[in-house]
Structure 1
Amino acid sequence: MNPKRLVDAYDLVVFDLDGVIYLIDRPIPGAVETVARLGEEGRSIAYATNNASRRSAEVARLLTGMGVPATDDQVLTSAGAAAILLAERLPAGARVLVVGAPALQAEVRAVGLEPVTGADEAPVAVVQGYGPSVGWGELAEASVAIRAGALWVATNTDRTLPSPRGPLPGNGSLVAALRTALGREPDVVVGKPAPALFTAAAHRTAASRPLVVGDRLDTDIEGAVRAGMDSLLVLTGVSGPVELLGAPESRRPTYVAADLGGLFAPADALRVSVDQPDPHGWRVTDDGVGLRLDGAGTTMDALRVLCSAAWSGAPAERGVTGTSDAARAAVRELGLDSVR
């Protein structure tokens, strides 16, 4: 075993699911093999998802059916975390208006609260999570209940949900509809970027050195930063090179890789920092207008070098230009040739 591999520096790998392990119900290429390899090596694994449409047991069965063995206690969902929070704040049997999938209703019921569907049932709280069939009627009932004084808890505020057809509206888009109608924010947002799912995963396994693997800067990576954990961004889901170059410090991953294969690559080759030298022949300069990439190397190395320059204060938002054939090809492949 090569001790310089990224995964060897950590005692727990916490995976996001949508955009990292699967897209809706299809495994992402390489995910099954990666998890199998980690299992063969005896690595501790956990899964943390903002998607509140399935309970932990359902997610574990879905993963296992895809060829990714998982147990119920390896999966942490925002639905389960939201139900626990409500149970801590409300008396047993309190009525909670549930906007979301049946899984969220089941989680609320499992902690001793009574899920309801109408504002006329006098709920003391509203919990809102993603559900593919959520419509205007449910949002209207939630609006009435919240205006009447009900606590408003959102499982997460992800604007989009990755899919094989591209990003689709996520729970954050539905939360935005209520935010517009009510003119205020939810009282509590449970899921990422709040650190609770990550810290719970580490607590369950007694891990002292966890690594978070995600595809979104605004949830997975920011959540890892808040939790004080290192993170790996993979480019198989939502966040891409353009967003990465402009990431504020609170959303910057420790490492960047094209996919989960990065877990077995040398850690130093994947690390991104503001003070790292230009690796493998790439050179980045600031010409006062934007960033200029020159030299040759891998496309992912080019991205990491550009991130280092942009995070150091160079004006990446003004554009990235390749000045050699290899550099122009890398800029095109990264989708940065249209950044102006």
Structure 2
Amino acid sequence: MNERMHGRSEGTGRRRPDGCPSALSEAYDTALLDLDGVVYAGGRAIAHAVESLTTARDGGMHLAYVTNNAARTPRTVADQLTGLGLPTGPDDVITSAQAVARLISEQVPAGARVLAIGGEGLVVALRERGLQPVFSADDDPAAVVQGFDPTLDWGRLAEAAYAVQRGVPWFASNTDLTIPRERGIAPGNGALVEVVRTAAGGAPQVAGKPRPPMHRETVLRTGARRPLVIGDRLDTDIEGAYHGEVDALLVLTGVTTPAELLAAPPQHRPAYVDADLRGLLAPQPGVTEDGDGFRCGGWRAALAGDTLTVAGEGAPLDGLRALCAAAWTAAGDGSCTADAGKALARIGME
């Protein structure tokens, strides 16, 4: 299913969330799942994730795990998911390390040296592409690549800066500024890329979500025909789906808040929104026009001057969906700046 067949108008962005009369796990053949903030946070499974994904898989949906975290190998990620109760093989995991390794291999000679500033996942991905990881700017690398690694120290970031200063082509697995962890939101690979940019200038080629190389890598490895992207981030998961022209489900278990969703520009508006992965197993209610407002379930939302309003009762998520329609329609191809504080409080999602 292509997003342009649903809540998007030709020449504009999406104006309202979509409805789906059947469970999403039945309407789409493959779930392209982000990991951090969707399936787990740190080492713990997010509530309802394991049982929801197990039910979807048992019903015939292919589960593929697509992550911008380049620190670990697909096998390590698969073993963690299996340990959480989701039997998974390495072929079901696609990482930004794999995407950036393919991107580099297309631009440097076969067997070239690449300065690897990242974890085991990045090193393994480079070797799979026939490239030779090195760890010093003095090793004459043909490229330098950064990937997330929580153990990175100043010395390794300095090596990246030295190489970039010398004109070595610079790549990054992804540029997520933050990453969800058990204790809260921590700096991501994008923050470390900014450290090198501050010292050396320039900008890297980026492979991970929302950039096209990641979408290409995912399609090549999964063969998905009717994919549904599932993520918690507007600027990576949802924007990646937008550029890939596929539908997306935003779950509110990670970094995105309801207020940020209402202010989303066109490329950050998902087809569906739900509290967690239980939304994969249920139909999605539609949003309908109601005079100068929008209705979903028992809620009606509208824009009154520079304020979003909502009235009614029912499931809080239905109120959020109606508010999305009011906000996105008012914003058009921009971002809604209307005050949503009281409306979100009214539906219990402030």
What is the TM-score when the length of structure 2 is the normalising length? 0.87
2:280 equivalent among 242, 263, 267: 263
1:201 equivalent among 212, 218, 235: 218
1:16 equivalent among 34, 37, 60: 34
1:290 partner letter: T
User: CA 1:69–1:103 in structure 2 vs 1: closer, same or farther (change >3 Å)?
Assistant: same
Structure 2 unaligned residues grouped into runs of 5+: 1-19
**Higher relative contact order (CA closer than 8 Å, sequence separation 6+):** 2
CA contact (8 A) 2:303 2:330 kept: no
Alignment of 1:314-333 (within 5 A): 317-320=337-340, 322=342, 328-330=345-347, 333=348
1:107, CA displacement in angstroms? Answer: 2.1
User: CA 1:205–1:97 in structure 2 vs 1: closer, same or farther (change >3 Å)?
Assistant: closer
1:322, CA displacement in angstroms? Answer: 4.3
User: CA 1:42–1:281 in structure 2 vs 1: closer, same or farther (change >3 Å)?
Assistant: closer
Match of 1:147 in 2: 165
C-alpha separation between the residues in 2 aligned to 1:149 and 1:285?
53
1:240, CA displacement in angstroms? Answer: 1.3
Structure 1 position 281 matched with structure 2 position 298: yes
1:297, CA displacement in angstroms? Answer: 1.6
User: CA 1:185–1:321 in structure 2 vs 1: closer, same or farther (change >3 Å)?
Assistant: closer
C-alpha separation between the residues in 1 aligned to 2:244 and 2:176?
18
CA contact (8 A) 2:294 2:326 kept: no
Match of 1:234 in 2: 251
Q: Deviations over 1:162-206 (max 9, x none)?
A: 1122110000100111122223211x1000001333344334443
1:209, CA displacement in angstroms? Answer: 1.2
Runs of 4+ in 1 over 6 A off after TM superposition: 271-276
C-alpha separation between the residues in 1 aligned to 2:288 and 2:265?
14
1:114, CA displacement in angstroms? Answer: 1.7
1:259, CA displacement in angstroms? Answer: 0.4
Alignment of 1:3-82 (within 5 A): 4-82=22-100
Match of 1:297 in 2: 314
C-alpha separation between the residues in 2 aligned to 1:65 and 1:33?
14
2:196 partner letter: L
1:181 equivalent among 196, 199, 209: 199
CA RMSD, Structure 1 to Structure 2 (Å): 2.3
User: CA 1:65–1:112 in structure 2 vs 1: closer, same or farther (change >3 Å)?
Assistant: same
Structure 1 unaligned residues grouped into runs of 5+: 336-340
Query: What is the total number of aligned residue pairs between the two structures?
Result: 327
1:93, CA displacement in angstroms? Answer: 2.7
C-alpha separation between the residues in 2 aligned to 1:171 and 1:272?
40
C-alpha separation between the residues in 2 aligned to 1:290 and 1:316?
10
C-alpha separation between the residues in 2 aligned to 1:320 and 1:219?
24
What is the TM-score when the length of structure 1 is the normalising length? 0.90
Q: Deviations over 1:37-61 (max 9, x none)?
A: 1221121111110000111111111
1:99 partner letter: I
Structure 1 position 136 matched with structure 2 position 139: no
